[in-house]
Amino acid sequence: MSAENLIDAIRLPFRKDRELCRAFRDMLGFYPHKISLYQEALMHKSMLAHAKSGSPLNNERLEFLGDAVLDAVVGEIVFHHFPKKREGFLTNTRSKIVQRESLGRLATEIGLDKLIRQNEHNKTHNSYLAGNAFEALIGAIYLDRGYGHCKTFIRKKIMHRLIDIDKLAYQEVNFKSKLLEWCQKHKVSLEYILLDETKTEDGSPLFNTKVVINGHECARGKGYSKKESHQKASRNALHRLKHDRKLHDELIKSKHVAD
């Protein structure tokens, strides 16, 4: 046990929130300092809680921050793990690790899902609930203990124990199928439009495709075949749907139903 953790352990019996602190110690490998940040990370918006200032109190802001920090940490880990791989490979590998389904599974495996607070009368079955809380947790760690602790937690508690990075990196992911599933779930139309076909310097064909969801252009992708351009455009669209909450909500609220 580090000297810092030893001091925190000595102080633990005198804390009112010692049970929650102990739970996070077992989960993270260190004690929280500002427990209020971690409580906020567990707070789903359905609780309709408010801070003393009157502003809404939920985990959405920490989720936003944690998403950025997680991308940076995982990106750094992937960068060093595959020193000879190009940008496209690294981006795909990071995307597989930080996608919502993966984060939800990780949240469940470390027991975070059991700590999430939501309104029992309006209990949601949102499949992204645990993954969102995981990102919020990373945001809380960052604000409480800094980037170094985020990196240590993700590397030691997540990557080394719960993720086979080599297996995952070479696992084929059909982004087009995932995007189609999302569109079918939310009853919105999906269309792939070929923008142009050009030639590279060596004469190879290069296809440029855009993804249109309910009449909204969401992303573009280039590839050496139409299939590859569809996959890249789909990957970029999924990335945007994850990060652009406004677009995400607008598409879901749309009344247009896919054919």
Instruction: Single out the catalytic residue among 135, 191, 249, 259.
Output: 135
Question: Domains (ranges, CATH) in the chain?
Answer: 3-169 (1.10.1520.10), 175-253 (3.30.160.20)
135 is catalytic: yes
Instruction: Single out the catalytic residue among 8, 63, 67, 144.
Output: 67
Give the span between the Cα atoms of 69 and 173, in whole angstroms.
24
Give the span between the Cα atoms of 68 and 189, in whole angstroms.
29
67 is catalytic: yes
Give the span between the Cα atoms of 143 and 37, in whole angstroms.
8
Residues 55/135, Cβ–Cβ less than 8 Å: no
Residue 122 has what pLDDT?
53
Residue 121 has what pLDDT?
57
Q: What is the mean pLDDT of each run of 10 residues along the chain (259 residues)?
A: 61 67 88 91 83 81 95 96 91 87 90 86 63 95 95 92 88 86 91 93 87 94 89 91 86 61
